[in-house]
Amino acid sequence: MEVLRFLTPDRILAVIAIIAGIVAVYYERRLHRQFKAQDIKIEKIVLSVHTSYIGSFPADLEKATELIVSAKNNDELLILTDFLGFGHYSSPEQYGQYVKALSETKGKVRMLVYGEASTKESLQAQFKKQDFEAFKTRPSFTDYFEFYKKRFQHTPDTYEDFLNDIIATQDCFSQTLTLKKDIEIRAISSPSINEAVFFWMIPQREMVFSFPNFYFEEKGFSFKTRDDHFMEIFSTQFNAKWGSGLPIVGNCYSTQRLFSPDSTEVAKTPPGAAGQASGI
């Protein structure tokens, strides 16, 4: 019975996705060796494989942007990520292109993101309180506040202010996107959303999916697929969650001050852990 409780739909889906990705990598390498002696571009070989590996973050954000740009009139775009601002800290320029693509897409967008509780948990996993003084010295921290300098008068002095600044920046994008008539965004409060695989999909055409890494320097791994059956499974799971989602209009959460000294605690770091995830 313990095993059955562990096997939630999202966990099963994640296992299936990982297996499909491993098989895809194996066949890509096999095809690459098979055609190496021939004058055929590797891109054409990859197109013959339903599912292929595309790399670590920000490759997923880049491919997701390309997929969004390719959407035609009345295409449906399904998106599931942890944050509406997925990647805006780690890769602000690429995120800018992503938001532009969403704002201008010809498709109809439905997006699911984490609710407040899962957001707080995820951000504190990605940016640990005990590491704050260290990551303040990293180029990514400096680059972030330089890139968004028009939004901030100065860089944050405290861990909580830093996380709240991230929320405030994300809300600027949320206010823009939720005004679009063909973009609908909902937040999922159930903890089960934490187990979901991130993805961007035009059903029956193509999907980009990503496994983020919250603890190590390697920022997750990502794939793309044209497998109809695979996409149908993800689409079914998405629609099951959609009905319980709370619509987001304007700001993502009830307040931009989600974090206070009393609400944050020092998180335990797994052995060998370093860096942040690709989630934001």
pLDDT at res. 196:
86
Read off the pLDDT band of 277 (50, 70, 90).
very low
- pLDDT grade for 251, boundaries at 50, 70 and 90: very high
How far CA 234 is from CA of 7, 38, 74, 90, 274, in Å, comes to 16, 36, 20, 26, 31
pLDDT-derived band at 14, boundaries 50, 70, 90: low
**pLDDT number for residue 61:** 95
> What kind of fold does domain 52-247 have according to CATH?
Endonuclease; Chain A (3.30.870)
Helix (H) or strand (E) holding 8: none
Quick one: pLDDT band at residue 271, thresholds 50, 70, 90?
very low
For the chain, strand residue ranges (E) read: 51-55, 76-80, 108-114, 183-188, 198-202, 206-211, 221-225, 246-247
Residues 183-232: pLDDT tens digits?
A: 999 999 988 888 889 999 999 999 999 987 654 445 678 999 999 998 99
Whether 108 contacts 73, CB under 8 Å: no
DSSP E strands: which ranges in 123-235?
Answer: 183-188, 198-202, 206-211, 221-225
* Lowest mean pLDDT across 25-39, 114-128, 203-217: 25-39
Token digits for 196? 């979901």
Contact 163, 144 (CB under 8 A): no
pLDDT at 23: 60
Query: pLDDT digit string (tens) for 50-96?
Result: 888 998 889 999 999 999 999 999 899 999 999 999 999 999 999 99
Length of the chain: 280
pLDDT at 132: 95
pLDDT in tens, 125-174: 889 999 999 989 999 999 999 999 998 888 999 999 999 999 999 999 99
pLDDT computed for residue 192 by the predictor:
82
Please report which confidence band the pLDDT of residue 269 belongs to, taking 50, 70 and 90 as the band edges: very low
If pLDDT is split at 50, 70 and 90, which confidence band does 20 have?
Answer: low
